[in-house]
Amino acid sequence: MKKILNHPEAFADETIEGILLAHPHHLKRAPGTPRGLVRADAPVAGQVAIATGGGSGHIPVFLGYVGPGLLHGVSIGNVFSSPSVEAMVAVTKAIHAGTGVLYLYGNYGGDIMNFDMSAELCEAEGVEVKSVRVRDDVVSAPKSAAEKRRAVAGLFFAYKIAGAKAATGADLAAVTATAQRVVENTCSMGVALSPCTIPAVGKPTFTIGEDEMELGMGIHGEAGIERGRLKTADEIAQVMTERVLADLSFRSGDQVAVLVNGLGATPPEELYLLFRKAHQVLAGHGVQIQRVFIGEYATSMEMAGASISLLKLDAELLSLLDAPAYSPFLPQWRSAR
């Protein structure tokens, strides 16, 4: 295992320590747990609070999406493991400003179980909680069973837009509905070229040949749909873009935001090669690219690979996507392409 770390078991906690030392005006711990971080100004009066959470090893997912115009708090598990119910409850209480809390997170079994239990405990104490699960990975289940799909980099769109909606002062029902609308209009597909190693495990999550890639692999190394010879950037981008387009039933004239995400070890240069072809495919279908995000928005430590996500836009989603937001873990953006 070739990693810059101290003790594998301390990886998540020491990462959190480093983050709090680096960004003391941005984040603080939720009282009562070492594994919960909230906005430094939490609770934020007049805003529905949004909590997320999940395993370590995916920065900027999950904790990188806490900040002004984004989310309010995050509970943090070990690498690729669900956070504890205790951390979720502590975060919920630390961010609740009296107007309810939305749990917005990836559609994974362990996270669902714990967030549901946390919701039950918090509701018993009078905190209204709603839940929206992001499930954008097109290959992880057919469209007819979309509620079984995994979350991948499409989390970005859900976090950015739900956070902007909450910042408008909208009520819990409206923030929840907006988040759900993003989920229903977001679709992603990925490709993996190499595995990563969970520090406490010490060996790669999977093996793959030197000339192979796997289409559709999940961000924890979940099986994809096709293991085969490494294809060209153009071939990869075409397959991924076409598959995502078909799933969202795009029509000529539809407007879209595009996210080309790097999983960790794949250089920005290669992401721009993928975008170059995706742009051509989208143009061929008459789909209008309104916004572009290219970089590392959801990682799997040192895994090599990338994904393409599309969000079908309407006027409100575009406006919320453009709204100001700040996190030191995210690339700069502004409304103009």
Catalytic positions, please?
Answer: 58, 220
Half-sphere exposure (Cβ direction) of 327: Cα atoms closer than 13 Å: 26
The residue type found at 37 is L
Shortest spacing between CB 282 and its own copies, in angstroms: 10
83 binds its own copies (CB under 8 A): no
Return the residue of 4, 45, 124, 315 that touches its own copies, per CB under 8 A.
4
When asked if residue 299 is in the footprint of its own copies (CB under 8 A), the reply is: yes
Residue 109 CA to residue 94 CA, distance in Å, equals 25
Q: Which stretch binds its own copies (CB under 8 A): 85-93, 99-107, 144-152, 231-239?
A: 231-239
The yes or no reply on residue 329 touching its own copies (CB under 8 A) is yes
**Residue 206 is a binding residue for its own copies (CB under 8 A):** no
Minimum gap (Å) between residue 337 Cβ and its own copies: 6
C-alpha atoms less than 13 angstroms from C-alpha of 324 in its C-beta half-sphere: 2
Of 59-67, 97-105, 112-120, 182-190, the segment contacting its own copies by CB under 8 A is 59-67
Residue 153 interacting with its own copies (CB under 8 A): no
Taking CB under 8 A as the rule, does residue 279 contact its own copies? Answer: yes
Task: Report how far residue 216's alpha carbon sits from residue 6's, in angstroms, rounded to the nearest whole number.
Answer: 33
Buried b / exposed e along 250-279 (16+ C-beta atoms within 10 A): beeebbbbbbbbbbbbbeeebbebbbebbb
> CA-CA distance, 18 to 62, in Å (whole number)?
16
Task: List CB contacts of 121: < 8 A, sequence separation 6 or more.
Answer: 85, 89
> Counting contacts by CB under 8 A, is residue 229 touching its own copies?
no
**Rounded (10°) CA dihedral 157, 333, 330, 28:** -90
Does 274 interact with its own copies (rule: CB under 8 A)?
yes
Task: Give CA separation, 45 vs 36, 161, 219, in Å.
Answer: 20, 19, 35
Stretch that binds its own copies, among 107-115, 176-184, 232-240, 311-319 (CB under 8 A): 232-240
Contact residues toward its own copies (CB under 8 A) are: 2-6, 11, 14-15, 17-19, 21-26, 56-57, 59-60, 64, 191, 193-194, 210-211, 230, 232-234, 236, 264-276, 279, 292, 294-296, 299, 301-302, 304, 306, 326-334, 336-337
